[in-house]
Amino acid sequence: MAGDRLLRILTRLSAGGSDKPEAARLCEVCADVAGMSGAGIMLMAGDEQQGSVCSSDGVSHLIEELQYTLGEGPCVDAHQQGGPVLEPDLVDPVTPRWLAFTPSAVEAGARAVFGFPLRVGAVRLGALNLYRDQAGPLTEDQYADALVLAGVAAQAVLAIQAQAPPGALAAELEEGANFRFVVHQASGMVAVQLGVSVAEALLRLRAHAFANDRLLAEVAEEVVGRKLRFDGDTSAAEPRP
């Protein structure tokens, strides 16, 4: 049965007629095969989100950015726990969780979210996120398909990265995850401003974004553009002639 599922998914991925990059096509197929409203794939290293490889629609993209901004959500938990994380009803969950993530995800149109870790052997790469605009659990077939899709996605990420020069991120992955670079740059700047570690600076950026109901990437762009500082030196944030 698993072999049949894998063959069906690979056939869908290899079907012609799409001019989209391989990564973008992957998210579309994941959403379609699993019968979901949308899908996204997030890369992670250790416990840190590295960026979104792809998203199938605007809501999926926002879900990925919310998780990156807040450090919580189905992809984060699935990656850290090493197993599927299923929330069939964001509006009325049996056990409330993701207190910061959930309201914004619901406002965007998500009613159910499901995270599946991307793993190749002992190597953890991130997670596949599936969302639906109606509440309800996955069927047995959807769950089984999602497990195979996560495996295919993990192999696809490795295959894309294998084409990159040593020590560099593959261009196709970089295109989908480009918001991570400005965040890392901003973290370095805030670390210097406050005299703290880069990890602590990232926490400060996330806290500021959450407190002001903004996305992390937006706050980072203001820091890099010298429109926002964290050391109280507002004069240094003024535009320079």
Q: Side chain identity at 191, as an amino acid letter?
A: A
Q: How far apart are the first and last CA of the chain?
A: 66
DSSP codes of every residue in 34-97: HT-SEEEEEEEETTEEEEEEEESSHHHHHHHHHHHHHS-SHHHHHHHHTS-EEES-SSS-SS--
Question: Are 125 and 154 within 8 A, CB to CB?
Answer: yes
What is the predicted pLDDT for the residue at 177? 53
The pTM for the full model equals: 0.76
Co-location of 199 and 98 in the same domain: no
Q: What is the CATH number of the domain that holds 13?
A: 3.30.450.40
What's the CA gap between 75 and 73, in Å, rounded? 6
What is the predicted pLDDT for the residue at 178? 47
The verdict on residue 118 lying in a domain is yes
Co-location of 150 and 188 in the same domain: no
The verdict on residue 173 lying in a domain is no
Task: Give the domain-ending residue among 133, 168, 203.
Answer: 168
Task: Give the domain-ending residue among 141, 168, 195.
Answer: 168
Greatest alpha-carbon span in the chain:
66
Specify the number of domains making up the chain. Answer: 2
What's the CA gap between 46 and 34, in Å, rounded? 27
Q: What is the CATH number of the domain that holds 183?
A: 1.10.10
Blockwise average pLDDT, block size 10, the chain, 241 residues? 74 66 79 94 75 87 88 92 96 92 94 94 89 96 94 83 60 55 79 84 82 82 86 51 38
Co-location of 58 and 158 in the same domain: yes
What is the predicted pLDDT for the residue at 95? 87
What is the predicted pLDDT for the residue at 54? 84
Q: State the residue range of the domain holding 52.
A: 2-168
